[in-house]
A and B are shown apart, each in its own frame.
Chain A
Amino acid sequence: MPLFAMQPILRRIVRHVAQLHPELFERLGDSCSKQFLIDAKGMPFLLLLRPDPENLMLVAKSRHAEIPYDVLVSGKFVTLLRMIDSKTDSDALFFNRDIAVTGDTEAIVALRNALDDMDATLADDVATAFGPLRGPVRASIDAANKIVGSKT
């Protein structure tokens, strides 16, 4: 899928999650204005997130572009997804070097803790953002999780 076609989908996801979990921004504090660059290994693009309720942004960026960021988080896509959904412990992933973090450590610690306080899984939230398509979306995320879950 070309990048321009992804942007409205990502916008929809991030707005939906923000609407469902306003408490997330309180936990983030000042770190909500930071730019988080997410490098999910194996994906053809990078994601840039600014979790600012006043100025929310989640966009796909080309891997070849120069992108200014405050924090860079990298790891396999499904490892990152499982971490966000609290299926695996992020500290253990870090000790094991399955994820890497550079840049503003305070911001990434705040984001990790804010996401960890969410009871619902991001997979659920992403799926519900797609309305009638929620079934197939959820099934694809579960399938990806299962593949990795069976390997870990």
Chain B
Amino acid sequence: MSEFIKPELVCPAGTPASLRTAVDAGADSVYCGFKGPTNARNFPGLNFTKAELSESVKYAHDKDAMVLAAINSFPTAGRTDIWKKSVDDAVELGIDAVIIADIGMAKYVAETHPDQRLHLSVQAGASSPEAINFYVERFNVKRVVLPRILTVPEIKRVHDAIDCEIEAFVFGNIGMMAEGRCSLTNYVTGISTNMDGVCSPASHVDYEPDEEDGLTTRLGDFAIDCISCGETAGYPTICKGRYDTAHKKNYYAFEEPISLNLTRLLPDLMRAGVTALKIEGRQRSRAYIRSVVSAFRDAVDAYAAGDEPDITELIALTEGHKETQGAFKSKSWR
């Protein structure tokens, strides 16, 4: 008999085909967003039209999976109608939960669609019981997605002090900023991660090869990395670039390209009271989703049954083939 309550496996999808792949690979729920600036993965060619989401919800529900709509960027003045329309559309389609970051949108959902299940996005950056309980009391938030800045014992303490479920990221891309507060891309490109929904917009990224099989990555006017022949590459984000500074040359001044992988901490997270385990990667391919979701399905089922899962395959899918347990293990991570 297992000591855990089996958590919900929350998986990403950037396209209808990815959503079907995630559901077929064993996702309990899939999170996705509409095309445009209302979600935090606003990449070219990605995301759902209303009609696509409608079909996808039907597909998932037919297979007993849930669909969560990420409407989790921050509307600026004069643009709130776009976010409200996304919320209305998602509710109309019978979405299982709406994931919101902006406090105004949380109010809108609570007042306009009081029966709609509401989740608080990681982008809201709510990490203390006081902040989380505020959202629970004022807007009837049922689940908080925790920022990736807490250790497992801290998550346990938060769990014991709040009146809603906890969703925690367990795998995928990780930035060093408290979510929802990074302005690096905005500084360089004028396009905001938090308000336009895209970090390092592809329109501003340039890869420049050289004669020796090296590669210079540029974002806007800035070179953010020079990769030499044979070296692995990472995402073109400022936080994972290499820079010359006064005391050190060509080094990862913020953080290394690395992926979060909490497979080994899953039992601890389950014991800490985490209800849902989230995989990052709405921008990733179906091949990635198929592999990661199946691996986590097996891992969660194995732990829940008291067995040791085989987790070796996941490392091949990590950024730069490097993994970390981030702040979940220790605050000394950088």
Contacts and interface: CB of A to CB of B under 8 A. Distances in A.
Interface of A: 26-29, 31, 83, 86-92, 94-97, 100-102, 105-114, 116-119
A29 B45 contact: yes
Contact of B206 (A89, A105, A113, A119): A105
Given A106-B202, A113-B15, A116-B286, A28 B317 contact: no
Contact of A113 (B14, B205, B291): B14
A31 B45 contact: yes
22 contacts: A28-B45, A31-B44, A86-B287, A89-B288, A91-B319, A92-B288, A92-B316, A94-B233, A95-B319, A95-B321, A100-B209, A100-B215, A102-B207, A106-B44, A106-B203, A110-B44, A110-B202, A116-B14, A116-B17, A117-B15, A119-B17, A119-B20
B245 interface: no
Interface of B: 14-18, 20, 43-46, 49, 201-203, 205-209, 215, 227, 230-235, 257, 283-288, 291, 316-317, 319-321
A85 B327 CA distance: 36
B196 to A, nearest CB: 14
B15 A29 contact: no
A86 B215 contact: no
A102 B209 CA distance: 7
A118 B16 CA distance: 9
The SS class assigned to the B binding surface is mixed
B317 A92 contact: yes
Contacts of B208: 102
Given A86-B285, A89-B287, A113 B209 contact: no
Given A91-B283, A101-B207, A117-B18, 11 more contacts: A26-B49, A86-B17, A87-B287, A95-B233, A102-B208, A105-B202, A105-B205, A106-B201, A106-B202, A113-B45, A116-B18
Given A89-B317, A92-B288, A105 B207 contact: yes
A68 B150 CA distance: 50
Residue in B15, B43, B201 with the greatest tally of chain A CB atoms within 10 Å: B15
Contact of B17 (A89, A102, A110, A117): A117
B209 A86 contact: no
Nearest to B230: A97
Nearest to B17: A117
B288 A91 contact: yes
A83 B288 CA distance: 11
A2 to B, nearest CB: 30
Given A97-B233, A105-B207, A91 B45 contact: no
Nearest to B320: A95
A143 B280 CA distance: 34
A92 B287 CA distance: 10
Contacts of A89: 284-285, 287-288, 291, 317
Given A90-B285, A106-B202, A114 B45 contact: yes
B45 A110 contact: yes
